[in-house]
Structure 1
Amino acid sequence: MARILAIDYGKKRTGIAVTDELQIIASGLTTVDTKVLIQFLKEYTEKEKVALFVVGEPKQMDNTASESETLIQPFLAKLEKQFPDIPIVRVDERFTSKMAFQTMIDSGLKKQQRKNKALVDEISATLILQSYLYSK
C-alpha cells in the first residue's frame, strides 16, 4: 500500500506529514522551504509510493475561503501538473495552528521550543492528515 502525504502550505514554510504504508498512523515528516516544495515532493515520491495528497484548506469562520487560499491555488495547479496520477483532497485546516501549539504545550515542550514555527507547521500537517484519516 502507498502512503498518504499531507501538506500544510505556507508562504515561507510548508509542513509535511505522512501515513505509514497501511494508512493508519499520521506522523510529522518535516518542514520545507516553500520555494523548494515541488522538488522535495518529487524526490520523496521517487523513494516512497504516495497514493494521495491531502492539502489543508484555510477557511474563515463563516466557511468562506481565507486570504491564503489565493497562495495555495497556484501551488495546487503545479502539484496537479507535476503529479497527474496522485489525487489531491482538500481538508479544512481551521484551528490546526492553535491545536498544534496546544499539542506542544501538552507535550511539555519548553517555551523556547514552542517558538519553533517549523515544528508548528509540521504538527499542523499531522493534524490535517489525522482529520482526513478520521473522516475516511
Structure 2
Amino acid sequence: MKTPIAQGRRIGFDYGEKRIGVATSDSESILVSPHATINNDADLSLKIGEILNDVQPIYIVIGNPKHLSGADSSKSDEAASFAALVRSLYEGPIYLVDERLSTQVSYAQMREAGKSARDSKSVIDQIAAVNILETALLNEKSNTSIGTRF
C-alpha cells in the first residue's frame, strides 16, 4: 500500500557554473513548474534565500551529475558544494538526485517544441530543474528513495 506523500511545496535546483535552474512543485505535488534561472554570482546566497523564503519548501532536491557508469563526476563535487551553500540557508531535508543526461533531455524537449535551445539557455536550466524535481516526486510517490540525503 502506498503511503500518501506529505503536503507542501518542493524545490529542485539544476546547478551550473554560470546559471542555476530552479523549479517548484505545488503543495499537492501534482504540478512541477519552472520557477527561475539565477546567475551563479556573488549574490547567489541572497537569491537562494529569497527563493526559499518565498516557496517555504518541505524539502529540496539538487541534481547530481554522475557519469553514465553511476560514479560521481567532477561536477558532482560542485553540486555538493552548492548543496553545502543551500544547507547554510535551509535546515530541512536536502537530497542529491541523479541527473544523468537531464540537460540533454531538456535540449531535446526544446527541439521537440520547435524552440531554439541556443536562444533559450536560461529556459534549458529551468527545464532541467523541472526534470530533476519530477524524478524526485516520482521516487517519493513510489515509496523509493527520493535521492541521497545531504
TM-score calculated relative to the size of structure 1: 0.90
Match of 1:56 among 50, 54, 63: 63
1:130 is aligned to: 134
Unaligned runs of 5+ in 2: 1-6, 141-150
Match of 1:107 among 98, 101, 113: 113
Displacement of 1:77: 1.6
Give the whole-Å Cα distance in 2 for the aligned partners of 1:9 and 1:131.
16
**Count of matched residue positions in the alignment of Structure 1 and Structure 2:** 132
Give the whole-Å Cα distance in 2 for the aligned partners of 1:72 and 1:44.
18
Displacement of 1:21: 1.6
Farther-moved stretch of structure 1 (39-48 vs 10-19): 39-48
Q: Where do 1:61-80 residues align within 5 Å?
A: 61-80=68-87
Displacement of 1:41: 2.0
Q: Is the 8 A contact 1:2 1:48 kept in 2?
A: no
Q: Where do 1:1-136 residues align within 5 Å?
A: 1-35=7-41, 36-84=43-91, 86-109=92-115, 111=116, 114-115=117-118, 116-136=120-140
Identity %: 27
Give the whole-Å Cα distance in 1 for the aligned partners of 2:57 and 2:45.
14
Displacement of 1:38: 2.3
Q: CA RMSD in A?
A: 1.3
TM-score calculated relative to the size of structure 2: 0.82
Letter in 2 for 1:15: G
Unaligned runs of 5+ in 1: none
Give the secondary structure class of the aligned counterpart of 2:33: strand
Give the whole-Å Cα distance in 2 for the aligned partners of 1:9 and 1:45.
16
Give the whole-Å Cα distance in 1 for the aligned partners of 2:26 and 2:44.
21
1:33-85 Cα shifts (integer Å, max 9, x gaps): 0123321221122223211110001100111111112222222222112212x
